[in-house]
């Protein structure tokens, strides 16, 4: 049995951790060969080329972290017509292009967690915050930003002053962070729900000698943020466990490929993780984001 995992792009700590989790699952399930692949640039067109070769190889199931929720649909439909079980994980595909979607966490939870972290980081629990996102077209980030905006009324002490985009490029993210610091001299927190943006923002604050005055939080990998936790520019940040995510994606895809039925409303066991329940749209959120701080980051940095 061959299960294919299609990442958004290869070459990041995050996709590496997903691969690790997938390998654990395939070893545990037995007789499962995992194919871990992805395009050279994070584009839908690149993923389609990869998907076409997977369809040709007649794999049993495909789990894809989509670069675009709509553009992959026709290709994935064709895969399903040829008997391949398709799920999306991490970043969703529209319902008609997959059987179910395995979300690392619900958008609302991510938004709420980011705001809680911002409040915890802000001196005195109040002040101005700004969001530094990935590209303006990143679907995941946009959903989280929308969730943050709708959760804002529950945090009246926080004032969202700007949302800027670093395009997941280190230099642009760094420059946008510097511009935020200049535009809002009394900024308290930068929230960056993207692993490249959060590192660049932390570096910018350290370089401007604003450590202790402005803080960075958001979503990132412990291994990439350990240095900034130690430097003091980041107090705490959040992420789900990408190893668990990879593990769950492979386990779920294998279940489907072995003939299990699932869909909206169903609950599926996921080995050591427990189980996941799919809602009416066929989305199964796994867990609340895990919070990393000075106490546990070093330990997790060794893993992912």
Q: Which residues bind other proteins (CB under 8 A)?
A: 10-13, 15-16, 35-41, 43-46, 48-50, 52-53, 55-58, 68-71, 73-74, 135-137, 142, 162, 164-165, 169-171, 174-176, 178-180, 182-183, 185, 199-200, 203, 207, 223-224, 226-228, 230-231, 301
Question: What one-character DSSP code corresponds to residue 214?
Answer: B
42, 266 Cβ separation under 8 angstroms? no
Minimum CB separation of residue 116 from other proteins in Å reads 25
Nearer Cβ to other proteins (10/152) = 10
Indicate the SS3 state at residue 189. strand
Nearer Cβ to other proteins (55/238) = 55
Question: Residue 198: is it exposed, middle or buried by C-beta count within 10 angstroms (0-12/13-18/19+)?
Answer: buried
Minimum CB separation of residue 213 from other proteins in Å reads 16
Nearer Cβ to other proteins (209/261) = 209
240, 104 Cβ separation under 8 angstroms? yes
Minimum CB separation of residue 265 from other proteins in Å reads 27
Question: Using CA atoms, how far apart are residues 10 and 8, in angstroms rounded to an integer?
Answer: 7
Helix boundaries (H) for 163-279: 170-183, 195-207, 222-231, 242-257
Instruction: Label residue 207 left, alpha or beta by phi (over 0 means left) and psi (-120 to 50 means alpha).
Output: alpha
Nearer Cβ to other proteins (73/266) = 73
Nearer Cβ to other proteins (29/178) = 178
Nearer Cβ to other proteins (119/176) = 176
Minimum CB separation of residue 235 from other proteins in Å reads 16
Tell me which residue has tokens 């997959």: 98
217, 113 Cβ separation under 8 angstroms? no
Minimum CB separation of residue 204 from other proteins in Å reads 9
Minimum CB separation of residue 261 from other proteins in Å reads 27
């Amino acid at each position: 049995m061959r299960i294919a995992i299609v990442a958004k792009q290869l070459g990041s700590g995050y996709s590496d951790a997903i691969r690790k989790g997938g390998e654990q699952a395939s070893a545990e399930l037995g007789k499962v060969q995992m194919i871990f692949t992805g395009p050279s640039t994070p584009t839908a067109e690149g993923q389609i080329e990869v998907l076409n070769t997977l369809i040709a190889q007649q794999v049993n199931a495909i789990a894809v972290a989509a670069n675009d929720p709509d553009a992959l649909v026709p290709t994935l439909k064709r895969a399903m017509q040829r008997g391949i079980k398709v799920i999306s994980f991490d970043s969703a595909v529209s319902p008609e292009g997959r059987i179910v979607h395995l979300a690392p966490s619900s958008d609302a939870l991510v938004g709420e967690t980011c705001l809680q972290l911002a409040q915890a980081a802000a001196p005195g629990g109040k002040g101005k915050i700004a969001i530094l996102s990935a590209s303006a077209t990143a679907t995941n980030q946009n959903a989280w930003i929308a969730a943050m905006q709708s959760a804002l009324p529950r945090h009246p002490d926080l004032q969202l002053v700007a949302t800027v985009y670093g395009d997941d490029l280190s230099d642009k993210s760094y420059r946008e962070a510097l511009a935020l610091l200049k535009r809002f001299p009394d900024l308290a927190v930068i929230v960056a729900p993207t692993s490249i943006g959060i590192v660049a923002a932390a570096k910018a604050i350290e370089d401007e000698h604003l450590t202790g005055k402005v803080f960075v939080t958001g979503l990132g990998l412990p291994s990439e943020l350990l240095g900034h936790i130690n430097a003091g520019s980041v107090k705490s940040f959040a992420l789900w466990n990408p190893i668990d995510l990879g593990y769950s994606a492979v386990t779920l895809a294998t279940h489907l490929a072995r003939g299990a039925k699932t869909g909206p409303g169903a609950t599926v066991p996921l080995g050591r993780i427990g189980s996941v329940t799919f809602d009416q749209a066929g989305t199964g959120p796994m867990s609340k984001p895990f919070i990393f701080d000075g106490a546990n980051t070093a330990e997790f940095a060794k893993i992912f």
